[in-house]
Structure 1
Amino acid sequence: MPTDANPELNAAKLAAPDTKMTSKLWRTLVILLLAQFMMAVDFSILNVALPEVGAALGFSLGGMQWIVTSFALTAAGFTLFFGRLGDYLGRRNLFIGGMVLLGISSLVGGMAESQTVLLSARVMQGLSTAMVTPTALSLMTTSFPEGPLRDRALGMNGAIMSAGFTTGAVLSGVLLDLLSWRWLFFVNVPIAAIVVVFAPMLIKEPARDPGARKMTLDMPGAITVTAAVLSLVYGITALGNHGLEAFLGIESMVLSVVLFGVFIVIEKRSAEPLVPLNILKRRSVALGNITGLLAFATETSLVFLMTLYLQEVLQQSGTVTGLAFGILGAGTVLGGVMASRVISLIGHRGTLLAGFALQGVATAALILLTTNPGSIPLMLIATFLGGIGNMLAIVGFMTAATSGLPNKQQGLATGLAILTQQFGITIGIPIMSAIVSARILSQPDLADLSAPERILGGVLFAIAINVALVVLGFLVALLLRPDRAPDGAETVTQN
């Protein structure tokens, strides 16, 4: 019997989500993941090399932080702006332009002979990250239909970005030993070239709102929110490095609050706002981004805490530390691979809850660490399991924050999600660093103990705070409305 003779069967087929990954989709996904991998590598690749870079170019001990901070400030500050700009100019064009800028800035950074040139290159790398990361994710959400295929793509994206963050730390030590710090920049150039060559052939520009070209970009809102984000990130970084003595850090935080208030007023009065505030009325978007902020802040800062533990408490080498992070990276990759299947079984809300629960239990186990190297197996098992849980939470957040939205708002939604990611990565380490320092200084009874014991006290206290933040993420995820699990289609999380 012909299929068109059975309209109910036809309707069911049309409604069923596509679950087959075609070769064309695979090629699109590979090129997008390659770009995302390099963006993630850039976040961590210079951390281990800071002393050598600083010595080569004459940075002071306090000035070295700007090699990282200049990148983080621009990456976080301009993400929302470029995410929205992609809706107007075309996401594929902005994506390719960002990769061109990454290649050029990396070449300049690798050849730098002065502090000014190096910091300028880092600022350009941050701008390229702000251009590429939201547009790549937006291209992913528009290329893959909502449901199992998108869940799978987002799961692989989360896994590859976590793997890139971990690879950056490991690769840094390897390249420093075999070549020089300059290759930490040069490694980006050939990969950026590959993406620029193949992206026009493999990535299709998603359909845009016909009226998009006639719309005007909300420049007052863009300038205000970018300045607010820059002030906030700078303030947090300054307070994390110098505590309450950082007067400019406190001023920056106050200025950030004022600028965010001005931004809200501008958006309410704008005919074509940068951020339509009604998008934040969607429970999935607002609460999803809060869970994402907590997921990224807790796990990236835990990497910092474990670095302190391995190198300052146990006096382990950089090679051992890198291998330990390899175990954590394996957990995140496994979590990313599992995520789409878990979402199809229990929905993104259930995945968020399961991920935070696993991450919280695993992180809590780290409070049992001691000054004895025999604690290393406990650390490896706990971070591996915590990596799985964290990645489940991250993919659940990405799915929640970008589901149920029209194509024309995907750039905005993904820009918000990536801004959340950048915030989490940027603020987590300074906050935990400040907690460790404050705890160490508040232990007068430990004045006669060795430095490793004092540092361990600070690390364990920060781990406890980290666990509390994971529990907070779990509680926020509870407020999300349950979604339908069987077909992965997000249908009831909207207001």
Structure 2
Amino acid sequence: MATVSSQAAPPAAPQNSPSPAPAPSPAPAPAPPALTGRARLILIVLCAAQFMVALDFSVLNVALPVLGADLGLSPAALQWAVTAFALPSGGFLLLAGRIGDLYGRKKLFLTGLALFGAASLLATLAWDPASFLTGRALQGLGAAMIVPTGMSLLTTTFPEGPQRDRALGISGTLLSLGFTVGMVLGGVMTDALGWRSTMALLTLFSVIVLPLAPGLLPESRTPERPKLDVPGAVTVTGGLLSLIYALSTAAERGFGGADVLVTLVAGVALLTAFVIVESRSAAPLVSLPMLKRRTVAFGNLGGLVTFSMMSTVVFVLTLYLQETLGLSGFLTGLVFGVQGVLSVLAGSFAPKVIGRFGARRTLVVSLFGQGLLTAAILGIGATSGAIIAAVFVSLASMCHLGAIIAYGVTVTSGVPDEEQGLATGLVTTTQQVGITIGIPLLGVLATTGGSLYGGVRTVLALDAAILLGAGVVVALGLRRR
């Protein structure tokens, strides 16, 4: 039997009273504007140039013994095949970025492409050590022009927000992928076609990219034309050249050599002088107020650590897989090939993560993730561990990609267009120095004293600790105030 409520029912509403308006539904978030066909082509050209330079960092590494035997380079002199490129590519970055700001980024980008292509051809056809090392040094100088101006053209072409985040995501992915692909291609091409094919590949890249760039890329420069800060240019370029030489040479011979110690001290002294010069210059090469921006300072710190620590992990795991486990170069390449595939996946969704959670939070979480996953590689054994190494270095590289893209967005966000060359010059200098310093500072511990296996584990533990410590410092430095 049904029950009837004892409460009186509310009176019926009059027929002519208006019904209450429904609550407005939240407006959907506007979708980021799609890239036009021309914008896509510009992005392809700029990213292809960045990929080419990243490829050059590693494509020759596996070929060095064959190259040395062919050209008559002694084992002690083989390091110059790498150092001859690293010195100008890292030393002239800030200067090239500022020249592009003042006199035209497109002009300097095209000049760098042409120089890089001609230098790659010279290295391909090299007939003795001098001609080869000259080609490598000119490649490095061309790269110093391409990288900061290419990044500046990217950040000034794509407006701050989803479009720029997406463009930086693609660029960062290809940068990391180029380094990994270079390691794999270097071994395969050297075995099949000889070491000269690695330099010919770079020549081919520049021949394809250079004709497309003039008609596509917009010219951009600062509206004012202040005088170039010559004292600042001399001190920062000399300081970076000295520092990169010292660290690159220490990777081969340790820090005990007189030339290493002298250039290390000279590098620190010149960079200190650079800071003093910039504080007194009317038109400084590097704006000290920009360096005091928390986003610039702590963003670049995160970038420096993620690059240096990942390059170190790749170096020591290459030794572990080949020397300790006895894997062939081909199988070792497959391990890093998996890393490259996952890096591409990470690069595709990193901009969406940044859009959802912000670049600062993404950078911090990525540093912690890379550190924890690097620590997980300590599970490798003295007789087995290739699968552990492959899985965790690949996952760590995904966090590494997130950190690369997030720190680029962090550093360049909020910077006016006239200073984008400076900001991206700092970003790319951080990349080059990071790739350079990791192996000399930590990687050599794997090969000095004791067993290689024990040395690799020591390096991995220090690598993870540095990443986690940097994550804490960057998190504190980038707290919103």
Deviations 1:66-115 (A, max 9, x none): 10011111111011110111001111111111110111000000000110
Q: Distance in 1 between matches of 2:356 and 2:276?
A: 42
Contact 1:166 1:325 in 2 (8 A): yes
Letter in 2 for 1:28: I
Contact 1:241–1:433 (CA under 8 A) maintained in structure 2: no
Q: Is 2:439 the counterpart of 1:433? A: no
> For 1:256-275, what per-residue CA distance to the aligned partner results, in whole angstroms no more than 9, with x for missing partners?
11111211121122111101
In 1: Cα distance, 2:30 partner to 2:278 partner: 38
Output the amino acid matched with 1:218: D
Q: Which amino acid aligns with 1:410?
A: Q
- Pairing partner for 1:204 from 215, 218, 237: 218
Q: Which secondary structure does the structure 1 equivalent of 2:334 belong to?
A: helix
Indicate yes or no: 2:177 matched with 1:166.
Answer: no
Name the residue aligned to 1:7: none
Residue equivalent to 2:381: 370
Contact 1:73 1:126 in 2 (8 A): yes
Among 346, 349, 361, the residue aligned to 1:338: 349
- Cα distance between partner residues in 2 of 1:269 and 1:341: 42
Alpha-carbon offset, residue 54 of structure 1: 0.5
Contact kept, 8 Å, 1:291 with 1:473, in 2: the verdict is: yes
> Which runs of structure 2 are paired with 1:312-331 in the superposition (5 Å)?
312-331=323-342
Spell out, residue by residue over 1:306-362, the C-alpha distance to the aligned partner (whole angstroms, 9 max, x if none). 101101100110000111110111122111111100001110111112211221121
Which residue of the partner structure matches residue 10 of structure 2?
A: none
Distance 2:478 2:82 in 1: 38
Q: Does 1:262 align with 2:259?
A: no
SS at 1:274 equivalent: coil
Aligned twin of 1:273: 284
Partners of 1:17 and 1:147 within 8 A in 2 = no
Distance 1:354 1:269 in 2: 38
The one of 73, 98, 122 equivalent to 2:112 is 98
What is the correspondence of 1:66-215 to structure 2 with a 5 Å cutoff? Answer: 66-206=80-220, 208-212=221-225, 215=226
CA drift of 1:117 comes to 0.5
Please say if residues 29 and 140 of structure 1, whose CA atoms lie closer than 8 Å, have aligned partners that are also in contact. yes
Partner of 2:24: none
SS in 2 for 1:244: coil
**Structure 2 residue runs without a partner (length 5+):** 1-26
Matches within 5 A, 1:373-412: 373=384, 375-412=385-422
1:253 to 264, 286, 297: 264
| Cα distance between partner residues in 1 of 2:79 and 2:102 | 35
Q: CA deviation at 1:378?
A: 1.1
1:391 is aligned with what amino acid?
L
* Residue 241 of structure 1: how far off its partner (Å): 2.0
Shift of 1:403: 0.7
Q: CA deviation at 1:187?
A: 1.0
Output the CA distance in 1 between the equivalents of 2:187 and 2:286: 41
More moved, 25-34 vs 187-196 = 187-196
Q: Which amino acid is the alignment partner of residue 93 of structure 1?
A: K
The residue aligned with 1:41 is 55
- State the superposition RMSD in angstroms: 1.7
The code of the aligned residue for 1:131 comes to M
**In structure 2, the residue corresponding to 1:112 is in which secondary structure?**
coil
Report the residue type matching 1:92 in the other structure: K
> Larger deviation: 86-95 or 242-251?
242-251
CA distance in 1: counterparts of 2:287 and 2:360, whole angstroms: 24
Distance 1:285 1:118 in 2: 37
1:463 to 442, 460, 465: 460
Cross-structure match for 1:478: 475
Q: What is the identity, as a one-letter code, of the residue corresponding to 1:479?
A: L
Shift of 1:467: 0.4
Please give the alpha-carbon distance, in whole angstroms, between the structure 1 residues aligned to 2:42 and 2:425: 20
Number of residue pairs the alignment of both structures matches: 455
Deviations 1:38-62 (A, max 9, x none): 0100000000000000110111111
Displacement of 1:18 after TM fit?
A: 4.8
TM-score of the pair, normalised by structure 1: 0.89
Q: Which amino acid aligns with 2:277?
A: I
Letter in 2 for 1:463: L
Conserved 8 A contact 2:302-2:367:
no
Give, in whole Å, the separation in 2 of the partners of 1:144 and 1:245: 47
Contact 1:331 1:385 in 2 (8 A): yes
Is the contact made by 1:327 and 1:383 (CA closer than 8 Å) also made in structure 2? no
CA distance in 1, matches of 2:478, 2:278: 27
Q: Residue in 1 aligned with 2:9?
A: none
Please tell me whether the aligned partners of residues 112 and 143 of structure 2 are also in contact (alpha carbons under 8 angstroms): yes
Q: Any conservation in 2 of the 1:239–1:250 contact (CA below 8 Å)?
A: no
User: What displacement does 1:210 show?
Assistant: 2.7
Shift of 1:481: 3.5
Q: Is the 8 A contact 2:359 2:406 kept in 1?
A: yes
Q: Which residue of 1 aligns with 2:294?
A: 283
| Contact kept in structure 1, 2:79 and 2:249, CA below 8 Å | no
Residue 434 of structure 2 aligns with an amino acid whose one-letter code is G
Q: Which amino acid aligns with 2:38?
A: K
Aligned to 1:8: none
Identify if the C-alpha distance between structure 1 residues 173 and 239 changes in structure 2 by more than 3 Å, giving closer, same or farther: closer
| DSSP-derived class of the 1:412 partner | helix
Secondary structure of the 1:62 match is helix
Of structures 1 and 2, the larger Rg is shown by 2
Shift in Å, 1:433: 2.7
How far apart are residue 472 of structure 1 and its match? Answer: 2.2
* Counterpart Cα distance in 2 of 1:331 and 1:16: 29
Distance in 2 of aligned mates of 1:19 and 1:294: 33
Q: d(CA) in 2 for partners of 1:95 and 1:25? A: 17
| Conservation of the 8 A alpha-carbon contact between 2:223 and 2:418 | no
Q: Structure 2 vs 1, CA of residues 16 and 226 (structure 1 numbering), >3 Å: closer, same or farther? A: farther
The one-letter code sitting in structure 2 at the alignment partner of 1:240 is A
Percent of residue pairs bearing the same amino acid type: 42
Deviation per CA, 1:360-404: give whole Å up to 9, x if none: 12111111111223x111111101110100100111110111110
Is contact 1:17–1:148 with CA below 8 Å preserved after alignment?
Answer: no
Q: What is the TM-score when the length of structure 2 is the normalising length?
A: 0.92
What amino acid is aligned across from residue 315 of structure 1 in structure 2? Answer: G
